[in-house]
């Protein structure tokens, strides 16, 4: 319930009883950087006061446990969890994340504003503050792939009017900004005086200056201390990212000092449901930072008040009068296991268990998005044009690839997979408009000895991507993804060995968190059974169609030389 101001004041004065008092807490004060004993009085959705409060409808004795502000995840694509929003909340809220700043560009690439609205509307029924950074780059490229949706300036203008929208999401098109392209600048101009997030991997010197001068005030792509230092010095907030695949905490933590820490915050960017369940969300980042030697209170500041200040979030990020009563309780600040989570004054999770219903509309209006023009296995035939072919080489644990040219096995004028040299067939099938586009290529590094893997998660356009040792298994896997209307699939010898259906936009499951985690584990296990050596092969696969990350990628239009930013001519 929303607090009435007059009553809140009365509770603060101690004249009216509070709804809830959290007694005998060790309160993390993000303003002083200290921990102080006290009772916290809560009235409706607000904190009335911290101190000597005793009268309440309910008193909960925390017996000296720590009480801190609810954690705020400053940058994430929550679609990475593969969870529907309600299940995502079930995953993160018990881990202390009570607010997220999210750029929903995955679902936007498939379903546009409707997809974004679906998430926002779901979140309104969940114990989680959700703030939208309007996706700035949907699709990631306009000429190198076929996407489901193109968000035009007018769409972005529309999002700007939504109350959840607090800024412009990561401007991945840094060449467009630095090049001064009008279509890009017009988006930035729309957000003048608002918060604009950056995405500038490896950009430095005057290019970085130009990017920042355009009004972009944060970055989460730094991988080295020097890179982060330069960005901070030039005025960016540095988001220290510790995601499922992108892990920058250890490298960047030395940046954090008495002089700089207020300009640094923690984010996860992408975090899988497995990591959310087993390791945690932002609390896991805080924990890891403390293990690396950061003062616990400062680590919490970087996951609460600093984030709130960077995004100008009102009444969030502190345990103080008038703030929203989004709070976490933990017995050990360094472990950051969340004993209790309160959302707007209500206990919503205890000992890792959510105490709320996962509102689950089941993806209404966002299902049946996989729309493939019928094709035969023969369409996967890759005609040979010579003795050598360009090959995408996977770099384990990274989303960049290497471009190779190698001799290949050719039979009857067609290039064949070469298991002995780990050269596999890669296919991207357009799935939004039934255009019939199929991009074909070769990839090295999966280690698959037989069978195929396919996925409807293929950043950022999310066509169907498949890798395999035979055209038949690739075909079967793609058909199974089509049949599921989205999902992850493992096939061998014409049989589906494992699958995780992702019926919502082809990106999210409609199943409970635990089921998704179990099915994903099974998919990965079956893939390993086929010889796969990569730790998260479906995740790696999903980035092979992303034509903005070097060096060589494959889209439904064909091979893309990312460094040249163009399609490679074939045949």
Contacting positions for its own copies (CB under 8 A): 5-6, 8-14, 29, 31-34, 36, 46-52, 177-178, 180, 182, 185, 188-189, 192-193, 205-207, 209-210, 212-215, 232-235, 258-260, 262-263, 309, 312, 314, 318, 320-323
**Least distance in angstroms from the C-beta of 415 to its own copies:** 43
How many Å apart are CA 136 and CA 447, to the nearest integer?
Answer: 36
Min dist. Cβ of residue 235 to its own copies (A): 3
Tell me whether residue 8 or residue 140 sits nearer to its own copies (CB atom): 8
Could you tell me where the DSSP H helices lie in 234-372?
Answer: 249-252, 273-278, 282-291, 296-301, 305-310
Closer to its own copies at the Cβ: 284 or 294?
A: 294
User: What is the nearest approach in angstroms of its own copies to the Cβ of residue 164?
Assistant: 14
CB of 212 to its own copies, least distance (A): 4
Q: Please, which residue, 48 or 358, has the CB nearer to its own copies?
A: 48
Nearest approach in angstroms of CB 404 to its own copies is 33
What is the C-alpha separation between 515 and 512, in angstroms, rounded?
A: 5
Which residue number, 45 or 246, has a Cβ lying nearer to its own copies?
45
Q: Which of 253, 262, 188 is nearest to 225 (CA)?
A: 253
Beta strand 129-134 with 97-102 is parallel
Of residues 324 and 382, the one with the C-beta less far from its own copies: 324
Rounded to a whole number of angstroms, the minimum distance from the CB of residue 210 to its own copies is 4
For 314, the token pair is 């009102």
Min separation Cβ 343 and its own copies, Å: 19
Q: DSSP class of residue 230?
A: H
Tokens 């203008």 -> residue: 157
* Cβ 11 to its own copies shortest distance, Å: 8
Cα end-to-end distance, the chain, whole Å? 65
Residue (274 or 305) nearer to its own copies, CB: 305
Q: Which is nearer to its own copies, 118 or 261 (CB)?
A: 261
Contact in structure between 372 and 434 (CB atoms under 8 Å): yes
Give CA angle at 556 (387, 418), nearest 5°: 35
Which CB sits closer to its own copies, 192 or 378? 192
What is residue 498's three-state secondary structure?
strand
CA distance 569 to 571: 7
Q: Where would I find the H helices in 104-204?
A: 105-123, 153-160, 174-178, 182-190
Report whether 539 contacts 244 (CB < 8 A). yes
Q: Which residues contact 225 (CB under 8 A, 6 or more apart)?
A: 251, 252, 254, 255
For its own copies, give the closer residue by CB, 6 or 353: 6
- Token pair recorded at residue 211: 């990017």
Question: H or E element: which one contains 472?
Answer: helix 471-484
Q: Which is nearer to its own copies, 156 or 276 (CB)?
A: 156
Question: Which of helix, strand or coil describes residue 23?
Answer: strand
Whole-angstrom Cα distance, residue 270 to residue 170?
A: 13
Q: How far is the CB of 263 from its own copies (least distance, A)?
A: 6
Q: How many residues does the chain have?
A: 571
CA pair distance 48, 15, nearest whole angstrom: 11
Kindly state the smallest distance separating residue 281's Cβ from its own copies, in Å: 26
């Amino acid at each position: 319930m929303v607090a009435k101001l007059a009553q809140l004041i009365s509770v603060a004065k101690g004249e009216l009883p509070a709804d809830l008092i959290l007694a005998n807490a060790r309160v993390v004060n993000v303003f002083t950087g200290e921990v102080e004993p006290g009772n916290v009085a809560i009235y409706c959705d607000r904190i009335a006061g911290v101190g000597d409060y005793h009268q309440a409808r309910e008193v909960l004795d925390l017996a000296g446990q720590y009480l801190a502000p609810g954690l705020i995840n400053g940058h994430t694509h929550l679609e990475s969890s593969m969870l529907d929003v309600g299940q995502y909340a079930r995953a993160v809220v018990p881990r202390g994340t009570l607010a997220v700043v999210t750029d929903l560009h995955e679902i936007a690439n498939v379903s546009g504003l409707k997809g974004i609205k679906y998430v926002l509307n779901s979140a309104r029924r969940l114990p989680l503050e959700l703030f939208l950074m309007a996706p700035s780059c949907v699709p990631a490229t306009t000429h190198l792939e076929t996407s489901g949706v193109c968000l035009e300036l007018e769409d972005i203008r529309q999002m700007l009017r939504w109350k959840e929208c607090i800024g412009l999401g990561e401007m991945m098109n840094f060449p467009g900004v630095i090049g001064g392209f009008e279509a890009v600048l017009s988006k930035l101009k729309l957000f003048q005086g608002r918060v604009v997030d950056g995405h500038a991997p490896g950009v430095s010197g005057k290019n970085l200056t130009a990017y920042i001068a355009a009004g972009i005030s944060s970055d989460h792509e730094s991988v080295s201390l020097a890179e982060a230092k330069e960005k901070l010095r030039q005025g960016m907030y540095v988001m220290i990212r510790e995601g499922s695949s992108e892990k920058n905490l250890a490298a960047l933590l030395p940046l954090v000092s008495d002089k700089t820490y207020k300009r640094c915050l923690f984010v996860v960017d992408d975090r899988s449901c497995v990591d959310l369940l087993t390791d945690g969300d932002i609390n896991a980042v805080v924990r890891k930072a403390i293990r690396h030697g950061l003062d616990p209170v400062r680590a919490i500041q970087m996951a609460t008040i600093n984030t709130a200040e960077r995004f100008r979030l009102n009444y969030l990020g502190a345990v103080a009068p008038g703030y929203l009563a989004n709070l976490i309780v933990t017995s050990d600040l360094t472990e950051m296991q969340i004993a209790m989570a309160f959302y707007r004054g209500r206990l919503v999770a205890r000992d890792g268990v959510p105490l709320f219903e996962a509102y689950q509309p089941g993806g209404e209006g966002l299902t049946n998005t996989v729309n493939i023009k019928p094709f035969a296995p023969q369409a996967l035939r890759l005609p040979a044009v010579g003795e050598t072919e360009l090959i995408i080489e996977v770099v384990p644990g990274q989303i960049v690839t290497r471009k190779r040219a190698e001799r290949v096995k050719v039979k009857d004028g067609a290039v064949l997979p070469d298991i002995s040299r780990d050269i596999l067939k890669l296919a991207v099938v357009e799935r939004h408009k039934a255009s019939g586009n199929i991009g074909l290529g070769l990839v090295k590094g999966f280690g698959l000895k037989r069978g195929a893997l396919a996925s409807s998660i293929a950043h950022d356009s999310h066509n169907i991507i498949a890798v395999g040792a035979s055209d038949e298994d690739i075909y079967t896997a793609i058909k199974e993804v089509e049949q599921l209307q989205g999902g992850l699939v493992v096939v061998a010898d014409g049989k589906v060995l494992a699958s995780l259906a992702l019926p919502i936009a082809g990106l999210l499951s409609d199943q409970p968190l635990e089921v998704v985690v179990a099915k994903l584990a099974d998919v990965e296990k079956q893939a390993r059974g086929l010889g796969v050596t990569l730790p998260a092969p479906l995740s790696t696969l999903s980035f092979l169609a992303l034509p903005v990350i070097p060096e060589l990628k494959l889209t439904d239009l064909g091979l893309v030389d990312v460094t040249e930013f163009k399609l490679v001519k074939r045949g």
